[in-house]
Amino acid sequence: MAESPAKGTGDVGGSIAWDDVSVAFGSNQVLDGVSLSFSSGFNGLIGPNGAGKTTCFNVASGFVAPSSGQVRLNGTDVRGLSAVKRSRAGLARTFQTPRLVLEMTVLENVLVGTERQHRAGHVREVLSFPRARREARELADMSMDLLRRFGLEGAAGQRAGSLSLGSQKLVEVARALATQSTVLLLDEPAAGLSASDTSAMVDGLHQLVEGTSLCVVIVEHDLQLIMSLCSSVAVLDFGRIISQGTPEMILQDKAVVDAYLGAGFATGD
Amino acid sequence: MPPHDLLPDGNRRGRRWAKLASLIVLITLLAVVPPAMNSYDQYLITLTLVYAITTLGLNVLIGWTGQLSLAHAGVFGLGAYLSTILIQHGWGFVPSLLVAGLGSAIVGGLVVFPALRFSGFTLAVASLAFASVIVQLFDNGGSVTGGGGGLAVPVFQFSGLSQTMSTYYVTLISTVLCFVVAHRMRHLRFGRVAFSIRDTEIAAVVSGIRVVRYKVFVFAFAAFLGAIGGALYAQLETFIFPVMFSTNTLVLMLVMLFLGGASSLYGPIFGAIFAVVMVELLQSFGSYQDLLYGLLLMLVIGVLPGGMASLPERLRTSHLLGRAVRGVASRFGRGRQDEATAASPVPPTATGSSLVDDPGDGVESGVA
Amino acid sequence: MLQYIINGLQSGSWYSLLAVSIVIVMKASDVPNFAVANMGLVGAFLAYSFVSAHLPFGVAVVLGLLGAALFGVIIDRAVIQRLGDKGHFPLLLMTIGISLSLAAALELIWGTNSLSLNAPWSNKTVHLAGQIINWDGIVTIATGLVIAIAITWFFHTTAGVRMRAVAENRSAARLVGVRISRVSGLAWGIGTAVAALAMILQTESSVLSYTAGDALLVPAFVAATAAGFTSPVGAYVAGLVIGVLENLTGGYISTALQSVVALVVVVLILLLRPSGFTRTALARREV
């Protein structure tokens, strides 16, 4: 069970779709009829600051109620489901700033993500039943394996608070993967990471996602990362999707270049 | 110190055995020594254990899960009254103790349920209102609760032992059981869940943790421990009346919790010892006692947010003393890991990141 | 019936004033001040001492209010602002600590006996619509109304707008040049004076003792909660509603149930507004 976190999902590919989603905060229209759909593999969601990328994620996770439209998770409308239920239906995510329990060890933080995999229950665990112990060991092994993929096995016993910000973000990605979800939303996973942390992130994700049916959506400003990793990219600007397609198509789309890429590429970002 | 239970580390296993051995020695001493003490000291040591159990409940709630409830003194009273009334109706002591605990747990869980959609201030106010209603009920309960005059407690007694010693042994067994269970819980899945609800509730939600269920359980569990403490307290004091469970008692509990160290497992024990010793020392001061409790709470919150349990770590990380202690520690070959854990300052314990302040990128759990 | 309603409006006005004080402090320091009643009692005891020193009642009350305001500013400077960066939780516990210390200090200074703070209108009555009504009820209700209007007006003045800015976004307020420490001091000063007014009115119509605040605290907090800790008008109205409900319950059902009213109200609020009061504020912070 340690090889692939998405193994439990079988042949059904993970997918997520936003159907005509609009969100307004007061008079501020943050999302304006966004329709998007992503399936297995790496997908990118890009756009200038304030375009509404994180809001897309928040709508999907159930933290922001859309004024109209719906989100489908693996083909099912998740309207009316609470954030917890959506997560238990197979949606995991990370945040722009890592949200770890700094007082706990790195391994314990990853184990928080295994909540859904527990079968034995708290009482058996507290009473140290063999089955609960075996389960705890298996989940710890799986979590250690995840950490190994990101080059963090050496830090497993350290307090999360003693890690650099970059490593903390890696731990958060590992925690999201530990949920064994079918859809994984990564909010700027590489922002603030050093070059070596970024490559650890990319390598780890590659290893873990390749050959599985996991659907990963990445919001990121590092366009090189997006273009090299993702097979499908969507561009969001002022709350609207202005383009969606393969990286090559996006790079040649004049509207995208005008709105966003032009400035970034011209300055050699 | 953060738990590392799941780490494959032989050395740690050795230390665990050492800890276990010292714990057994301590419990044996607690079982053997008190019979030789005078009855007043027996009373004091029992009171310490009662406080420790009660504060443990508050700690699970506030220190571990970050839920600010101000109902604990009321729940403590609920345990005292329920068990006493049951005993008066001919129940045995142990069944009444358990039923008082479970009954309070159910009441605590039910009452808090509507408030759980909120956190922080609203919860604090709702729980305070709940506690005040409980005390009002004691006051107005007629012959059932004895009103303001209170109730005389039928005290349980083992044959061949004094009343105080009987209560003492039941209390000791309860304390050991409660702390063993709490120890297991804190270092296993429950502790991880509780801490992540406290520090990063949003991350707990997206990890698929059923936050509301856990909160209800935590409230019920805290009420259970508080009520057990209350039932034992009633046995110890032999007479209960409503004022014993007022806000002043709540403040004493908060002092014990924060002085001992919120979120630390054994903090409640330090806090309880401190409280009992302090009450003894201050007895001659009369009215100054409450003043000192209040000032002490202010002082602890202002100066030592991690409580006494954080003192060793604070000393280690402080500049001058720290270097000396680290030097000694590394000579004994155990400096490495501890240094790593001590390197970053303790996050101010339970400073309410799960309270009403920003829960993230403008997110809130449970929309839609 | 009318009698119960008037009595309800009277005790409701005490709750209202305390709730308004809670809201004011909450706006600037973002902490529910659990010491509100006992801090107000400082003003009431001061007023008592001034009356005992043969000052006219009006002068004594004004001095008491000023003393209370000064005390609020001192607490803010000496305790609250020092904790500013440690989060809500320690601040809240700190106010509980202050409350207990104050009660004990008041007991030590003024003793355990119940004192009486007599106003010129104490024990005087008036016949109105066939009912005998106490003057202190009328004075209390009128004062509550005036203060509620004054505070609402205050929040629309420059100083009040600053306070609201601090409540909404601390760092942004600092960026546009609002001096948070000053705003905080002002809020604690005004808040404590309003609380003192509540306690003077309450102790004038019953007795003055260091425990006088205990019974008012929970209803006042329930009223402030009902107003989402943000609206002084809401807090004022909620306080009156609780007061009237309590008196009607006490009059027609049972005095023992009277105190349960506050809990019922808080549960109703929680059930009727399940989306919570902070939703809009949170949504605004997004993106």
Element (H, E) at C109: helix C88-110
Per-residue pLDDT at B312: 63
Cβ distance of B207 and A115 shorter than 8 Å: yes
Residue C90 and residue A120: Cα distance in Å, rounded? 37
Task: Over range A4-24, report the average pLDDT.
Answer: 71
C-chain residues near A54 (CB < 8 A): 286-287
Look up tokens 């004094």; give the residue: B162
pLDDT in tens, A149-181: 898 989 999 999 999 888 999 999 999 999 999
Residue B130 and residue C263: Cα distance in Å, rounded? 7
Element (H, E) at A84: helix A83-88
Q: Is B362 on the interface with A (CB under 8 A)?
A: yes
Cβ distance of C287 and A55 shorter than 8 Å: yes
b/e string for C251-268 if b means 16 or more Cβ within 10 A? Answer: beeeeebbbbbbbbbbbe
Per-residue pLDDT at A186: 93
The contacts of residue B208 (CB under 8 Å, 6+ apart) are A84, A87, A88, A113, A115, A116, A179
pLDDT tens across the length of chain C (287 residues): 788 888 899 999 999 999 999 999 988 888 889 999 999 999 999 999 999 999 999 999 999 999 999 999 999 998 888 886 666 777 888 898 899 899 989 999 998 888 888 888 877 888 877 778 888 888 999 999 999 999 988 888 888 888 877 777 777 777 777 777 888 899 999 999 999 999 999 998 888 998 888 889 888 988 888 887 888 888 899 899 999 988 888 888 877 777 777 767 766 766 666 443 433 333 333 32
- Closest chain A C-alpha to B302 CA, distance in angstroms: 21
Cβ distance of C266 and B129 shorter than 8 Å: yes
CB-CB contact of B191 with B22 (8 Å): no
Domain boundaries, chain B: 19-314
Q: Which CATH number fits domain B19-314: 1.20.272, 3.90.1690, 1.10.3470, 3.40.1000?
A: 1.10.3470
Look up tokens 């001034």; give the residue: C50
Instruction: Give the neighbor-by-neighbor strand order of the sheet with A215-219.
Output: A91-93, A183-187, A215-219, A41-46, A232-237, A240-245
Phi-psi region of C144 (alpha: psi -120 to 50; beta: other; left: phi over 0): alpha
pLDDT tens across the length of chain B (368 residues): 344 444 444 456 677 888 888 889 988 888 888 888 888 999 999 999 999 999 999 999 988 998 888 899 999 999 999 999 999 999 989 999 999 999 999 998 887 777 676 656 778 888 888 888 888 889 887 888 888 888 999 988 888 888 889 999 999 999 999 999 999 999 889 999 999 998 888 999 999 999 989 999 999 999 999 999 999 999 999 999 998 998 888 888 988 888 888 788 888 998 899 888 887 877 777 667 778 878 888 888 777 766 666 666 665 555 444 444 444 444 443 333 333 333 333 333 333 333 323 333 333 333 33
Element (H, E) at A29: strand A28-38
Return residues 198-217 of A near B (CB < 8 Å). none
Look up tokens 């200074």; give the residue: C109
- Closest chain C C-alpha to B331 CA, distance in angstroms: 36
Q: Could you tell me whether strands B239-240 and B151-152 are parallel, antiparallel, or unpaired per DSSP bridges?
A: antiparallel
Return residues 109-128 of A near B (CB < 8 Å). 109, 111-113, 115-116, 118, 122, 125-126, 128
Per-residue pLDDT at B365: 35
Q: Is A52 on the interface with C (CB under 8 A)?
A: yes
Task: Over range A83-110, report the average pLDDT.
Answer: 92
Cβ distance of A58 and C284 shorter than 8 Å: no
Q: What is the count of residue pairs from A and C with beta carbons less than 8 Å apart?
A: 16
List of domains in chain C: 2-285 (1.10.3470)
C-beta neighbour count of B237 within 10 angstroms: 18
Phi-psi region of C241 (alpha: psi -120 to 50; beta: other; left: phi over 0): alpha
Q: At what angle do helices B247-260 and B267-282 cross, to 10 degrees?
A: 120
C-beta neighbour count of B314 within 10 angstroms: 16
Query: What is the radius of gyration, based on Cα positions, of chain C?
Result: 19
Both tokens assigned to A2: 């340690």
Return residues 55-94 of C near B (CB < 8 Å). 79, 82-83, 86-90, 92-94
Look up tokens 């020695």; give the residue: B25
CB-CB contact of B294 with B251 (8 Å): yes
Task: Over range A13-36, report the average pLDDT.
Answer: 88
Interface test with B, best of A97, A104, A175, A188 (most B CBs within 10 A): A104
Residue B154 and residue B92: Cα distance in Å, rounded? 10
Element (H, E) at C200: helix C180-205
- Closest chain C C-alpha to A10 CA, distance in angstroms: 36
Residue A245 and residue A226: Cα distance in Å, rounded? 13
- Closest chain C C-alpha to A234 CA, distance in angstroms: 19
Return residues 15-54 of A near B (CB < 8 Å). 54
Residue B51 and residue B252: Cα distance in Å, rounded? 10
Cβ distance of C87 and B352 shorter than 8 Å: yes
Sign of CA dihedral A107, A109, A110, A116: positive
C-beta neighbour count of C223 within 10 angstroms: 32
Residue A254 and residue B2: Cα distance in Å, rounded? 54
Residue C200 and residue C42: Cα distance in Å, rounded? 10
Q: Is A82 on the interface with B (CB under 8 A)?
A: yes
Per-residue pLDDT at B193: 94
Cβ distance of A115 and B209 shorter than 8 Å: yes
Q: Is A133 on the interface with B (CB under 8 A)?
A: no
List of domains in chain A: 7-99+180-266 (3.40.50.300)
pLDDT in tens, C162-184: 887 777 777 777 777 777 788 88
DSSP line for C201-234: HHHHHS-B-TTTTHHHHHHHHHHHHHTTTT-HHH
Per-residue pLDDT at A247: 86
A-chain residues near C283 (CB < 8 A): 25, 64
CB-CB contact of B356 with C228 (8 Å): no
Chain B residue closest to A117 (CA)? B208
Give the model's confidence band at A25: pLDDT under 50 very low, under 70 low, under 90 confident, else very high.
confident
Q: Could you tell me whether strands A16-25 and A91-93 are parallel, antiparallel, or unpaired per DSSP bridges?
A: unpaired
Residues of C engaging A, defined by a Cβ cutoff of 8 Å = 283-284, 286-287
A267, burial (CB in 10 Å: exposed 0-12, middle 13-18, buried 19+): exposed
- Closest chain A C-alpha to C221 CA, distance in angstroms: 29
Look up tokens 């607690």; give the residue: B30
Residue C230 and residue C286: Cα distance in Å, rounded? 21
Interface test with B, best of A30, A70, A73, A82 (most B CBs within 10 A): A82
Residue A30 and residue A24: Cα distance in Å, rounded? 5
pLDDT in tens, B188-203: 899 999 999 988 889 9
Cβ distance of B362 and C89 shorter than 8 Å: no
Residue C200 and residue C208: Cα distance in Å, rounded? 9
Going by C-alpha positions, the residue among B345, B68, B257 that lies closest to residue A103 is: B345
| Residues facing residue A241 across a β-bridge | A236
